[in-house]
């Protein structure tokens, strides 16, 4: 694994916007000099590294599914701060094996040892368009005939084709709260992959999904029954809403309800409890840092690096945010590796239950937040 430089393409902004990354200008807070998409640098991996990472990702995913089975069978929902009224519905969702499509592991990796799991974005992962499409076309333009750890698009199409969904169109739901356009473009891209798989689809805003109390069903603005929905809207927000009690029992939602157990950072502690010392895990606990002298406190439902606290023997660093009322997990802290002053985090994609590709974000800070930049990668010749 190494970081290399290459001149950016002429008119690269126009190029990536035409490929779906229309939100790259709005993806960063104002005032940053570095663009969100930065193709002036890229990472290079050996094929051996990629093959090893693929195996590690699939093992982590298997361990996560085993953890869901454990939580459901033992009723450990309180560890995840889930409201008690939804516990039975999560159990039923898992027992039915409600269909799932994709997820993203965030990993610490420096090329010299096993990858370490930082968290699992299993409900509403983004950075998909740049991982699946934009960096692939960058590779074709800059390194024609080159290789990349990237079969995301093909696997998404295959996954939609393999699903048994209710009759009628599958709705692809975004939210009007999206200010950058990232969510709308991600949903539109996933809708396109479903259409390539032959599924009938319709786009809809979450705010335009209505509840037909007479017929006890969800409906669109035209009154048509909604039987299946892909949404980039977190389950914890849905469960906190009045219509959440209907959502858990009506319609097929992708990602499914059981993924509340994988998108919650309590997962990290249960994984460590069940697989102590595993080379791909960092020690993690729910009841405090225990023996850890360097740790990071992560809110169970936190996003974008908000409301985190890093504690080391020498210092304490905290990020702003409003998360944490739901509780924290305390995970052993290992700083991200440094490449030319930047700290990369690997976003390893899983489609269905198989490893599918890689996206890399990097920042100078200890926590990867909304100031990070996405950089492409390739596999060495």
pLDDT in tens, 269-287: 999 999 999 999 999 999 9
Per-residue confidence (pLDDT) for residue 76, from 0 to 100? 96
- pLDDT above 90 (res 199): yes
Per-residue confidence (pLDDT) for residue 188, from 0 to 100? 96
Q: Mean pLDDT, to the nearest integer, of 262-275?
A: 97
CA 205 – CA 236 distance, rounded (Å): 18
Per-residue confidence (pLDDT) for residue 255, from 0 to 100? 97
Q: What is the pTM of this model?
A: 0.96
- pLDDT above 80 (res 165): yes
- In the chain, the percentage of residues whose pLDDT exceeds 90 is 87
Listed in sequence order, the residues at least 6 apart from 124 whose beta carbon sits closer than 8 Å to its beta carbon are 231, 232, 233, 234, 255, 263
- How does pLDDT run across 244-261, given as a tens digit for each residue? 999 999 999 999 999 999
- How does pLDDT run across 131-151, given as a tens digit for each residue? 999 999 999 999 999 999 999
- pLDDT above 90 (res 181): no
Neighbour-count burial of 304, counting CB atoms closer than 10 A to its CB (0-12 exposed, 13-18 middle, 19+ buried): middle
- How does pLDDT run across 26-39, given as a tens digit for each residue? 777 777 889 999 99
């Amino acid at each position: 694994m190494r970081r290399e430089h290459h001149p950016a393409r002429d008119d690269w902004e126009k190029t990536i916007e035409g490929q779906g990354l229309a939100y790259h200008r709005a993806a960063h807070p104002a005032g940053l000099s570095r663009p969100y998409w930065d193709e002036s640098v890229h990472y290079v991996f050996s094929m051996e590294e990629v093959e090893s990472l693929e195996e590690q990702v699939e093992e982590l995913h298997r361990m996560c599914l085993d953890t869901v089975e454990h939580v459901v069978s033992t009723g450990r929902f309180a560890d995840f701060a889930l409201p008690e009224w939804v516990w039975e519905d999560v159990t039923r969702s898992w027992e039915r094996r409600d269909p799932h499509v994709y997820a993203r592991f965030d990993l610490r990796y420096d090329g010299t040892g096993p990858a370490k799991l930082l968290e699992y974005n299993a409900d509403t992962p983004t950075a998909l368009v740049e991982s699946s499409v934009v960096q692939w076309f960058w590779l074709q333009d800059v390194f024609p005939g080159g290789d990349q750890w990237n079969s995301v698009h093909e696997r998404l199409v295959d996954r939609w084709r393999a699903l048994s969904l209710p009759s009628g169109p599958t709705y692809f739901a975004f939210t009007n709260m999206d200010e950058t356009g990232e969510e709308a473009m991600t949903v539109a891209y996933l809708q396109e992959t479903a259409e390539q798989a032959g599924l009938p689809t319709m786009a809809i805003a979450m705010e335009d999904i209505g509840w037909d109390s007479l017929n006890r069903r969800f409906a669109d603005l035209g009154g048509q029954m909604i039987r299946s929905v892909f949404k980039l809207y977190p389950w914890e927000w849905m469960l906190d809403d009045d219509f959440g009690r209907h959502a858990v029992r009506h319609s097929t939602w992708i990602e499914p309800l059981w993924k509340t157990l994988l998108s919650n950072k309590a997962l990290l502690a249960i994984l460590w409890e069940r697989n102590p010392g595993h080379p791909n895990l960092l020690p993690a606990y729910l009841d405090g840092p225990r023996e850890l002298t360097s740790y990071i406190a992560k809110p169970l439902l936190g996003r974008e690096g908000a409301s985190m606290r890093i504690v080391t023997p020498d210092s304490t660093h905290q990020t702003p945010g409003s998360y944490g009322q739901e509780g924290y997990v305390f995970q052993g802290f290992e700083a991200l590796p440094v490449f030319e002053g930047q700290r990369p985090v690997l976003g390893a994609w899983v489609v269905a239950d198989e490893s599918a590709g890689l996206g890399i974000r990097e920042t100078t800070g200890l926590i990867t937040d909304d100031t990070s930049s996405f950089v492409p990668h390739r596999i060495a010749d």
